[in-house]
Amino acid sequence: MTQLHRRVALIAVLAAAVLLTLAAPVARARVASPWDAVEDDGLEREMDADDEPFFISEAERSNTLKVMRAFAAAMPSLGWSGADFCTWAGVRCFDTNVSFIATGSLATGTLPEMPDDVDYSLVKLDQVDLSQSTGITGTLPSSWSKLHKVRTVNLGYTSISSTLPASWSSMSSLRFLTLSSTDVFGTLPAAWSSMSAIEQIVISSTQITGTLPEEWSTMPNVRRIHFQQCNLYGSFPASWARMPSLERLGLQNNNFCGCVPDSWLTSPTLWVGVDAKHRMADCATAHACAETTTPEPVPSSSGSAGEVSGSSSSSTATTAEPTPSSSGSAGEVSGSSSSSTATTAEPTPSSSGSAGEVSGSSSSSTATTAEPTTSTTSPTPCPTPCRVPNCMSCAPGNSMRCSVCFPGYVLTAGGWCMRHTGEDAAVFPVGTAAAAAVSATVVVMGAVLA
């Protein structure tokens, strides 16, 4: 081989090595932090303030300032002062919107009641995100129903302890609501069915109880609902399958009964997360829903309840479950008999009249008021809240170590749920391709120069 041919061959090999290196697929996967917003969390990540100019009218600025000062007064640790709220820590102004984002901050205080002297149609606040700020305590103010333009409320992992305000159904623009891993309790408000804009509700790992409201089946835009690790009970409403936009429903680790409705399982767009026992063949019998009976109310009485009179040789009056709100003497016995016995078990206080009164002229007369029978059912305690984001179920007795992650997440050795975004990592990473190219070049050059 001539010297010229050798040089041409060497150049061709080097060019091939460079092309191989450049063409190798690049690993683009990114491992998200476990504290990143879950795929279904729906929190809007708005553009930076510098991307769009901020402009609102003077009236809008004035009314928005009053609302922001309410937050400043309730959370003095924020250190807000002055009238230019766009310069306050955690406040972002862009386009015509104002966001208050203090995720994971050291802020302390409570959620403020909304002031009365405000025209809320001119308030431009559209996002309140205090997630992971454990110094935030108190209750959910019912007056937040005035915030008609707020689209996102995220109070997850705060120390809020409250019932869910039914009045929030008036938050007509609210799209994303997150209250997970807080101390909220009580039932799910049926009135929330009128939230026409709501797309996502996440209230997992809380103390909410009660049943799933049938009324929610009319929500037109809700896409994702997460109520894992709570104390909900009752049956699964088949009507929820009528939600036209519902895509994901997480209900694991609650106290439901019965089976998952066929209408849920046959939906081509709905992913349902429930405990496995509700999918078993015997779910209707092994986990049957108890029949509920409503006792007839006992009216209040003033006078004599269970009064018996007569002249028989033996007379007995028995009163079970005495009326709580009756007045007078309970178990009173009067007569001219030679033997008279009255047995009263814990008479009801503040009664008027006589309960279980017996009168007569018999030789033996007995009036017995049976001890009231009280049927109590202790609520099943909510499981220890799982504190791992994106986790479907934590390890028993360990709220900081996940055992089962949501679909699309990978369980790490440390018990976290990690999500990969973007393309999968390349089978042949760049380093491998480059090393192969260099090795081939060295071999060819050695052969040429030999």
For residue 355, list its beta bridge partners.
Answer: 305, 330
pLDDT of residue 371: 53
Q: How far apart are CA 366 and CA 314, in angstroms?
A: 8
For residue 207, list its beta bridge partners.
Answer: 185
Compute the chain's Rg from CA coordinates. 35
Q: Cβ distance 135 to 109 under 8 Å? A: yes
For residue 234, list its beta bridge partners.
Answer: 256
- Name the residue among 98, 155, 104, 102 with its Cα closest to residue 127: 98
pLDDT of residue 402: 76
pLDDT of residue 415: 74
DSSP track, 306-330: S-EEE--SEEEEEE-S--TT-EEEE
> Greatest CA span in the chain, whole angstroms?
143
Q: What string of pLDDT tens digits covers the 450 residues of the chain?
A: 566 666 666 676 666 665 555 554 443 333 333 333 344 444 444 444 445 678 899 999 999 999 999 999 999 999 999 999 999 999 999 888 999 999 888 889 999 999 999 999 999 999 999 999 999 999 999 999 999 999 999 999 999 999 999 999 999 999 999 999 999 999 999 999 999 999 999 999 999 999 999 999 999 999 999 999 999 999 999 999 999 999 999 999 999 999 999 999 999 899 999 999 999 999 988 889 987 555 555 555 444 444 434 444 444 444 444 444 444 443 333 344 344 444 444 444 444 444 334 344 444 444 444 454 444 444 444 444 556 666 666 666 666 677 777 666 677 766 777 765 443 333 344 444 455 555 556 555 655 555
Q: Cβ distance 56 to 68 under 8 Å? A: no
pLDDT of residue 15: 66
